[in-house]
Amino acid sequence: MLHTLDVVDVVVGIGAARFTAADVVHSCLDRIGAREPLIQAWAHLDGETALRQAHGADAEEKRGGLLAGVPFGVKDVIDTSELPTEMGSQVYRGHHARYDASCVGLARRAGGIVLGKTVSAEFAGTQPTRTANPHDITRTPGGSSSGSAAAVADFMVPFAFGTQTGGSILRPAAFCGIVGFKPTFGLYSPAGMKVAAHSFDTIGLLARSVRDIATIHAVMMSDASPPAELSIPRVGFFPSHLWDTVDDDMKAAVDSVLHKISAARAPVTEIVAPVGFAIITQHRAVINAFERARGLAGEALSHVEDFSPQSREVCERGFAISGERYLEARRATDDFRARAGEIFDGVDVLVTPTTPGEAPEGKSYAGDPRLQELWTMLHLPSITLPAGRGRHGLPLGIELVARAYQDQALLAHASWLSAIVTDR
């Protein structure tokens, strides 16, 4: 059952010689062997290489690093030197990078072991993937970091890297009942990641606890240890202009969370969206399509026939947008970012629903990204925590948002809230 251990428990257990890194990798591979035919979370696996690296780590006289002996997954739009990076696309079939992406290299430096590449929508877009939600295999796990979320939720691997352009980390994390973290824009190096929309793209993390997220974040930021817990935060409830799109069971989950926060003697204030906030997603749609099309201009020139229908559509839409309209959207978005501080007047952290409700049925639609993309386009750090179950018994998620560069404070607030909401 070593595959069920979280990141910190793996490191502690190996350090105490209760088991080895090879034991953990074997357990994860056994779990994958049993469950992968149902879940289909992996694009590429190399158990032989992972075991060789684990045996090498076990043979070292001195073990160290915050991720020593921890296997992890890598979304298939992020480069790894030993496995293909195919971007979820026929266009990149068999493509190998010479070097690891920055985030992968940092995780390896801390002792982590790449177990495999997780399934991604084509070019981290909207194309449906084959991956199933571990809680109900007839439903989507969310996208585009579908494989990363499903693999972590199904105990195939302790953590995985994902990417977020709109809501591609937080949405699948919420649908799969785990923790997803998107740092402040630009905090993690994007080197070695296939760019989707360069104004928004962020590498982030999926794990099963806030403690694990904080540990991996410390590795990404070259900190010696995760952040200490803070005092009780001042909480702002932010329903946003999208509250009417939220299902009743998600609203009930939010009410329950807010009640628990108040019972823990934390002040809660309802935050009114700034004037004009309702049109922010319209600007985001323009920027996203414009940048995605131009980011794929080279591939589209010679291989557009190999694109999925979703990728072709976004390219057609993006190339039809003028530079003037794009700049108009960029300026408007910059104005909103400059005013983002107003939302946090008198509060330390915002609480808002991560998604409108449970994971949708089927796999053709990965879910509504708007509740997550608000914060992605504003470049603010955000994290989703499990927050109960919906009407069909599937996971719901609550999202926490902080000011830019307050990532460590956000993780500390998330740790506090997780303790009173989810007991994790």
Give 136-175 pLDDT, tens digit per residue. Answer: 999 999 999 999 999 999 999 999 999 999 999 999 999 9
Mean pLDDT, residues 360-379: 96
Q: Tell the burial category of 228 from Cβ atoms under 10 Å away from its Cβ (0-12, 13-18, 19+).
A: exposed
pTM (2 d.p.) = 0.97
- Cα 195 from chain centroid? 16
Q: In the predicted model, what is the mean pLDDT of residues 205-210?
A: 98
Instruction: Estimate the crossing angle of helix 280-295 against helix 309-319, to 10 degrees.
Output: 110
Average pLDDT, the chain: 95
List residues with catalytic annotation: 75, 144, 168
| Token pair 């994390």: residue | 173
Exposed, middle or buried: residue 230 (CB in 10 Å: 0-12, 13-18, 19+)?
middle
Q: By the 8 A CB rule, do 35 and 156 touch?
A: yes
- Whether residue 382 contacts residue 183, with contact meaning beta carbons closer than 8 Å, is answered with no
DSSP 8-state assignment for residue 386: E
pLDDT for the residue 423? 45
User: Per residue in 329-338, pLDDT tens?
Assistant: 999 999 999 9
Mean pLDDT for 214-228 is 86
Domains contained in the chain, CATH given: 1-424 (3.90.1300.10)
What is the enclosing helix (H) or strand (E) of 396?
strand 395-401
Question: Which of the four pLDDT bands, split at 50, 70 and 90, describes residue 63?
Answer: low
pLDDT at 227: 67
